[in-house]
Amino acid sequence: MFVLFPAFLVLHIFGVILWAGGSIVQYIFFTDMPEDCHPNEQSFFIDLIRKVTRVMALTGTGVVWLSGLTMIFIQGSEWLTAHGFIHIKISLGLIAAVLTLMAFYAIRKTAALCSAESPDPAAVMPSMKRWKTLQTILLITLGTAVLVAVFRFFN
């Protein structure tokens, strides 16, 4: 069983890269969406955000959680209690997963507002601002989790 641990660790790191990469791509490319753009352009941007979230961020989240729980199962509960930083990583990962889902549902709501017969830009922009705020908090949380994992401040 311990032979599988490095393979799941690599899978876990790949998932974190996919999750964080998807979130960073969204944040960089889509936070500067102009407020006065045409509703068709808004709809295009929002559909693209949904696709990036679904393909990269949600897939990365699933890979991280499945590989992480498998590594905990392989190592046993003694390993979990012996490393204090693991509890912080799990807590930050849970917060980041919830934020990812909240951002995904916020962008779904925004897409529903944009796909209406006559989309109102005044109704779309508050939803986009909520998404931007969630993405900012998500990136800070993911960055903190990665720092805790790499430097292991708490042993």
Cβ–Cβ under 8 Å, residues 66 and 85: no
Q: Has this prediction a pTM greater than 0.75?
A: yes
Tell me how many domains the chain contains. 1
Residue from 141, 143, 66, 63 nearest 100 by CA: 141
**pLDDT value of residue 35:** 64
**pLDDT value of residue 43:** 75
Taking the C-alpha atoms of residue 86 and residue 71, their distance in angstroms, rounded to an integer, is 11
**pLDDT value of residue 81:** 73
Range of the domain at 141: 5-151
**pLDDT value of residue 125:** 77
**pLDDT value of residue 99:** 94
Cβ–Cβ under 8 Å, residues 35 and 121: yes
**pLDDT value of residue 14:** 94
Taking the C-alpha atoms of residue 114 and residue 118, their distance in angstroms, rounded to an integer, is 8
Residue from 40, 56, 53 nearest 106 by CA: 53
The rounded average pLDDT for each run of 10 residues, N- to C-terminus, in the chain (155 residues) is 85 93 85 67 78 88 93 81 78 93 87 73 78 91 89 66
**pLDDT value of residue 39:** 65
